[in-house]
């Protein structure tokens, strides 16, 4: 922001008071400021990066010579598993989405915070708790040790009797809660909080990447959650999802895992694409070539990524038709990646690139992305895939992609936004040196792995014999890993030193294109003294708009200094909708996350009742969290409120969860000779159908309540809600009686049919029970009168029940299908 006049400064001062948070440690514990949460994510994820990096160095040191005895096989297996789990779940995603996304997304779209600031704090604390939960296992000597892919039956109780895999299953589910909550937050933020004038086609490509990632997370994590829950049930309750003797199938795990696992690759790399498309225009001094194609490609990559999972399973013995289909889909996904690659290259060639440190890291990214991409394409030739599969060739391929291509831009981004976050400049010479060290180290570590893999070295070997020609290459790889570590340490040293001693950088040292450079460095708690005017995807290069900002600040237009507010706009066109009163710092997200941590701890130790008690505590924290209402008067909005959108995205992930459950049911059914298995009677048809009809019918009073609430007829709304509540509660009561009754004839431990039958229905009943909790909360709230906040609550919870009704139809159809 250019220099403000007297009136502008007075307004900025008022904003500072309004947006101030608590000082000291308490301030950090209760913060809802996206920038502070972003920094918390940054330091936490870097700590996990350090842990994962040390693990990698230990692995490489063990492999420096044949028959080495540095690590026992058990230690080696734990370390390579933890290396994978750490880097994927606790480092890359929290750094790219948690730190970069959190810090930059609101700044880039001209907002003052994310759509749900307390949910954001909750995401962070859940992530910390989940990370610690997983890492406690390491000093106990019981770290997960079946690989991050955790294939069954190796991960079953029979072959892994210790708690190692329980840490894995529960930890994965736990950290998924955090990631999903962040994705919901980002989607609503991108849809609703863009500065007036920022229509979707003017949104920076970084934000498109974050949007694509968030959608991928919403739909990709539920299959993983379901897979891990099945495994934990197999281990602790004796169900038979993956147990061939009990009618299950270990390949079900692989399908569920890779339906998550391949989109996950794009979840990891899309933020890197976003960072590249931020840095390249700034240093090439020109706009991105083919902007709409690149935006489309980012979204397409995330979408097609869901259709390629079985290319991880070509050696399982799939039918040829299936394998060839997945090979074709895997080739199609190359196209959007190639579009982006040549858009970056053409932008660089036709621009006037300045090869400063951030751009160097992007150049490294492009080189490694090409290497990893080209080797990846080769796997679509199935015979070659089955030769290279599970060898070091694959290790080379995916490290070029998810280290070279995903992490290099993150480090480039650390340099690029360092002046914005700290207000200081890093040292350019050291920055370049760190790049060349890390570049050489990466190439030296991972390139020889291609060769050693083709020479026949399988992955996940704690040792290897001396006479197969692998030794020299392994020495090179190990040397490379230490060079790489030195490069990364130099990055850390450069940034740490510059943080204290670096020269002041000013607001916009790189002449960047996007709105974060309009904020001060470091940005004020309110981000923008005046909500920026936007007329293109490169707002900082539109000088007249920035001059308009200064005039607005003087005139008090778009300053919004009357309260803790940020503008909300319409989803597509980004037109002004309303000024949103934003929540401020709160202790409840931390409390809820702590209660959840205890839930997972007691699930691990098998104290289920205690876990249930703490689940209640987490619910209580959630209620306390929502005690204070946003101080909005009743207004007529043009668009749907944030609360409704948040619920909609949450329900999308719920639908994906039930989709995974129903998909698993179908899989088990069609791989089983008889269904229901064993001597179990087919389910009765009449009662489930009648009950579901009642539940679906409850949608009518919900709709009536919604209409009444929007017309501000409080009593009518209450009445309709009560009717709906009675129907829903009656439904659940009868369902539970029937559930318990059926448990008398067969159980989840009888066979795979019992396992999936009771799990599917149990999940559905839990879904209904959660809805009843929401209804009870709503009824209490509404009894105190109607506010804008409560109208939104009615609309969001009504949406919840519409979706529950729809899911109920699918669940009951699946349930009665054998009859």
Partner 1 sequence: MSAWRQRLPCVLVALWAAALSGCGGEQSALEPRSGPARDIATLWWWMLAVATVVFAGAVGLLVLAWLRRRRVGAPVVGEREGFDLGMVVLFGMGVPAVALIALFVVGNFVVMPGTDAPAASRAQMRIDVIGAQWFWKVRYPGSGVVTANEIHIPARTRVNVTATTADVIHSFWIPQLNRKIDMVPGRRNRVLLYADRPGRYRGQCAEFCGLQHSHMAMYVIAESPPRFRAWLAQQARPAAEPGGALAQRGERVFMEHQCSSCHTIRGTPAAGEVGPDLTHVGRRTTLAALTLPNTPRELAAWIRDPQYFKPGNRMPALDLDRSEIEAVAAYLEGLE
Q: What is the DSSP letter of 680?
A: P
By CB under 8 A, tell whether 374 contacts partner 1: yes
By CB under 8 A, tell whether 317 contacts partner 1: yes
User: Helix, strand or coil for residue 504?
Assistant: strand
Please identify, using beta-carbon distances, which residue of 458 and 616 lies nearer to partner 1: 458
Q: Binding to partner 1 (CB under 8 A): which residues in 76-115?
A: 77
Q: Which range, of 122-130, 314-322, 676-684, 751-759, touches partner 1 by CB under 8 A?
A: 314-322
Tell me how far, at minimum, the Cβ of 503 lies from partner 1, in Å.
Answer: 24
Please identify, using beta-carbon distances, which residue of 322 and 562 lies nearer to partner 1: 322
By CB under 8 A, tell whether 819 contacts partner 1: no
Q: What is the DSSP letter of 683?
A: P
Task: With beta carbons less than 8 A apart as the criterion, state whether 37 and 126 touch.
Answer: no
For partner 1, the binding residue among 2, 5, 73, 436 (CB under 8 A) is 73
Tell me the C-alpha distance between 617 and 591, whole Å. 9
Please identify, using beta-carbon distances, which residue of 420 and 450 lies nearer to partner 1: 450
Tell me how far, at minimum, the Cβ of 271 lies from partner 1, in Å.
Answer: 21
- How many CA atoms lie less than 13 Å away from 603 in the CB half-sphere? 24
Tell me the C-alpha distance between 159 and 521, whole Å. 55
110's tokens: 């001209």
Q: Which range, of 125-133, 368-376, 419-427, 481-489, touches partner 1 by CB under 8 A?
A: 368-376
223's tokens: 């299959």
C-alpha angle 193-198-202 in degrees, rounded to nearest 5: 130
Tell me the C-alpha distance between 666 and 671, whole Å. 8
Q: Please provide residue 173's backbone torsions phi and psi, each rounded to the nearest 5 degrees.
A: -65, -40
By CB under 8 A, tell whether 146 contacts partner 1: yes
Please identify, using beta-carbon distances, which residue of 7 and 315 lies nearer to partner 1: 315
Tell me how far, at minimum, the Cβ of 320 lies from partner 1, in Å.
Answer: 8
By CB under 8 A, tell whether 324 contacts partner 1: yes
Tell me the C-alpha distance between 7 and 11, whole Å. 6
Task: With beta carbons less than 8 A apart as the criterion, state whether 409 and 510 touch.
Answer: no
CA neighbor of 511 nearest in space, from 416, 422, 414: 416
By CB under 8 A, tell whether 285 contacts partner 1: yes
DSSP run (H or E) holding 579: strand 576-581
Tell me how far, at minimum, the Cβ of 168 lies from partner 1, in Å.
Answer: 14
Q: Binding to partner 1 (CB under 8 A): which residues in 159-198?
A: 159
DSSP run (H or E) holding 221: helix 205-236
Tell me the C-alpha distance between 476 and 488, whole Å. 18
By CB under 8 A, tell whether 481 contacts partner 1: no
Tell me how far, at minimum, the Cβ of 171 lies from partner 1, in Å.
Answer: 19
**Burial class (CB within 10 angstroms; exposed 0-12, middle 13-18, buried 19+) of 277:** buried
Q: Binding to partner 1 (CB under 8 A): which residues in 381-400?
A: 381-384, 386-391
Please identify, using beta-carbon distances, which residue of 172 and 252 lies nearer to partner 1: 252
User: Helix, strand or coil for residue 568?
Assistant: strand
Task: With beta carbons less than 8 A apart as the criterion, state whether 146 and 164 touch.
Answer: yes
For partner 1, the binding residue among 7, 26, 349, 700 (CB under 8 A) is 349
Please identify, using beta-carbon distances, which residue of 340 and 653 lies nearer to partner 1: 340
By CB under 8 A, tell whether 284 contacts partner 1: yes
Please identify, using beta-carbon distances, which residue of 460 and 710 lies nearer to partner 1: 460
For partner 1, the binding residue among 315, 700, 737, 819 (CB under 8 A) is 315
Q: Which range, of 327-335, 430-438, 550-558, 585-593, touches partner 1 by CB under 8 A?
A: 327-335
Q: Binding to partner 1 (CB under 8 A): which residues in 530-559?
A: none
For partner 1, the binding residue among 138, 200, 237, 338 (CB under 8 A) is 338
Q: Are strands 576-581 and 565-569 parallel, antiparallel or unpaired?
A: antiparallel
- Which long-range contacts link 678-682 to residues 24+ away (Cβ below 8 Å)? 678/247, 678/746, 678/750, 678/751, 678/753, 680/745, 680/746, 680/750, 680/751, 680/753, 680/754, 681/745, 682/818, 682/819
458's tokens: 């399988």
Q: What is the dihedral of CA 698, 703, 704, 705, to 10 degrees?
A: 90
By CB under 8 A, tell whether 59 contacts partner 1: no
737's tokens: 């009686």
Q: Binding to partner 1 (CB under 8 A): which residues in 427-466?
A: 448, 451, 454-465
Number of residues engaging partner 1 in binding (CB under 8 A): 91
Q: Binding to partner 1 (CB under 8 A): which residues in 221-250?
A: 244, 249-250
Q: Which range, of 41-49, 317-325, 647-655, 701-709, touches partner 1 by CB under 8 A?
A: 317-325
Please identify, using beta-carbon distances, which residue of 154 and 425 lies nearer to partner 1: 154
Please identify, using beta-carbon distances, which residue of 214 and 751 lies nearer to partner 1: 751
Please identify, using beta-carbon distances, which residue of 130 and 251 lies nearer to partner 1: 251
* Per-residue binder mask for partner 1 (CB under 8 A), 644-683, x = binder: ----------------------------------------
Q: Which range, of 309-317, 436-444, 684-692, 764-772, touches partner 1 by CB under 8 A?
A: 309-317
By CB under 8 A, tell whether 141 contacts partner 1: no
- How many CA atoms lie less than 13 Å away from 375 in the CB half-sphere? 24
For partner 1, the binding residue among 341, 553, 603, 793 (CB under 8 A) is 341
By CB under 8 A, tell whether 290 contacts partner 1: yes
For partner 1, the binding residue among 91, 135, 365, 470 (CB under 8 A) is 470
Please name the residues in contact with 683: beta carbons below 8 A apart, sequence gap of 6 or more. 676, 757, 815, 816, 818, 819
By CB under 8 A, tell whether 467 contacts partner 1: yes
Please identify, using beta-carbon distances, which residue of 292 and 785 lies nearer to partner 1: 292
Task: With beta carbons less than 8 A apart as the criterion, state whether 354 and 405 touch.
Answer: no
Task: With beta carbons less than 8 A apart as the criterion, state whether 256 and 660 touch.
Answer: yes
For partner 1, the binding residue among 26, 132, 140, 335 (CB under 8 A) is 335
Tell me how far, at minimum, the Cβ of 480 lies from partner 1, in Å.
Answer: 13
Task: With beta carbons less than 8 A apart as the criterion, state whether 748 and 233 touch.
Answer: yes
For partner 1, the binding residue among 95, 181, 268, 327 (CB under 8 A) is 327
- How many CA atoms lie less than 13 Å away from 804 in the CB half-sphere? 32
């Amino acid at each position: 922001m250019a220099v403000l006049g007297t009136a502008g400064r007075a307004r900025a001062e008022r904003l500072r008071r309004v947006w101030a948070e608590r000082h000291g440690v308490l301030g950090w514990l209760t913060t809802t400021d996206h920038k502070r949460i972003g920094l918390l994510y940054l330091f936490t994820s870097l700590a996990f990066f350090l842990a994962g990096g040390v693990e990698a160095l230990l692995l490489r040191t063990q492999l420096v010579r044949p028959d080495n005895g540095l690590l026992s096989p058990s230690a080696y297996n734990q370390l390579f598993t933890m290396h994978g789990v750490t880097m994927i779940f606790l480092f890359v995603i929290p750094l790219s989405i948690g730190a970069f996304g959190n810090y930059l997304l609101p700044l880039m779209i001209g907002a003052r915070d994310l759509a749900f600031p307390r949910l954001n704090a909750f995401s962070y604390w859940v992530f910390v708790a989940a990370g610690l939960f997983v890492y406690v296992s390491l000093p106990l000597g019981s770290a997960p040790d079946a690989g991050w892919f955790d294939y069954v039956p190796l991960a079953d109780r029979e072959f892994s009797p210790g708690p190692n895999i329980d840490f894995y299953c529960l930890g994965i589910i736990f950290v998924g809660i955090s990631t999903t909550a962040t994705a919901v937050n980002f989607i609503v933020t991108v849809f609703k909080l863009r500065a007036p004038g920022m229509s979707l086609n003017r949104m920076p490509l970084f934000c498109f990447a974050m949007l694509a990632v968030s959608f991928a997370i919403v739909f990709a994590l539920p299959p993983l959650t379901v897979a891990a829950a099945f495994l934990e049930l197999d281990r602790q309750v004796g169900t038979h999802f993956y147990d061939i003797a009990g009618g299950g199938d270990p390949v079900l795990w692989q399908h569920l895992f890779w339906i998550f696992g391949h989109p996950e690759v794009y979840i990891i790399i899309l933020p890197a694409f976003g960072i590249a498309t931020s840095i390249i225009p700034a240093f090439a001094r020109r706009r991105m070539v083919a902007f709409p194609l690149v935006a489309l490609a980012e979204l397409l990559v995330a979408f097609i990524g869901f259709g390629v999972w079985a290319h991880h399973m070509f050696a399982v013995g799939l039918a040829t038709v299936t394998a060839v289909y997945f090979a074709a889909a895997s080739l199609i996904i190359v196209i959007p990646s190639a579009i982006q690659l040549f858009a970056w290259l053409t932008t660089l060639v036709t621009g006037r690139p300045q090869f400063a440190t951030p751009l160097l890291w992007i150049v490294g990214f492009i080189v490694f992305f090409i290497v990893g991409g080209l080797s990846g394409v080769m796997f679509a030739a199935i015979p070659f895939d089955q030769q290279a599969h599970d060898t070091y060739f694959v290790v080379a391929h995916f490290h070029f992609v998810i280290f070279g291509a995903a992490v290099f831009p993150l480090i480039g981004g650390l340099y690029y936004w360092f002046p914005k976050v700290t207000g200081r400049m890093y040292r350019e010479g050291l920055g370049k040196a760190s790049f060349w060290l890390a570049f050489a180290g990466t190439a030296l570590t991972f390139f020889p792995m291609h060769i050693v893999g083709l020479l026949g070295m399988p992955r996940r070997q704690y040792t290897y014999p001396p006479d197969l020609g692998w030794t020299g290459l392994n020495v090179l790889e190990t040397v490379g890993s230490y060079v790489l570590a030195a490069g990364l340490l130099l990055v850390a040293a450069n940034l740490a030193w510059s943080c204290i001693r670096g020269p002041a950088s000013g607001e916009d040292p790189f002449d960047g294109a996007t709105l974060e450079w309009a904020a001060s460095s470091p940005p004020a708690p309110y981000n923008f003294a005046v909500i920026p005017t936007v007329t293109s995807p490169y707002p900082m290069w539109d000088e007249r708009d920035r001059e308009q900002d200064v005039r607005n600040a003087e005139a008090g237009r778009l300053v919004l200094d009357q309260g803790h507010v940020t503008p909300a706009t319409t989803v597509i066109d980004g037109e002004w909708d309303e000024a949103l009163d934003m929540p401020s710092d709160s202790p409840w997200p931390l409390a809820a996350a702590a209660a959840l941590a205890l839930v997972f701890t007691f699930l691990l130790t098998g104290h289920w009742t205690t876990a249930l008690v703490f689940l209640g505590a987490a619910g209580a924290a959630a209620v306390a969290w929502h005690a204070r209402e946003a101080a909005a008067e009743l207004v007529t909005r043009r668009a749907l409120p944030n609360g409704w959108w948040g619920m909609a995205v949450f329900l999308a992930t719920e639908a994906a969860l039930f989709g995974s459950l129903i998909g698993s049911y179908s899989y088990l059914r069609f791989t089983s000779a008889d269904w229901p298995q064993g001597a179990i009677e087919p389910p009765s048809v009449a009662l489930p159908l009648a009950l579901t009809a009642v539940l679906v019918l409850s949608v009518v009073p919900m709709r009536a309540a919604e209409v009444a609430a929007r017309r501000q007829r409080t009593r009518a709304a209450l009445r309709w809600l009560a009717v709906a509540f009675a129907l829903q509660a009656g439904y659940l009561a009868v369902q539970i009686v029937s559930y318990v009754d059926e448990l008398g004839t067969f159980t989840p431990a009888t066979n795979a049919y019992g396992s999936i039958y009771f799990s599917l229905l149990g999940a559905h009943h839990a879904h209904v029970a959660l809805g009843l909790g929401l209804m009870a909360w709503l009824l209490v709230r509404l009894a105190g009168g109607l506010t804008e906040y409560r109208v939104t609550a009615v609309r969001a919870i009504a949406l919840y029940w519409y979706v529950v009704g729809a899911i109920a139809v699918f669940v009951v159809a699946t349930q009665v299908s054998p009859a």
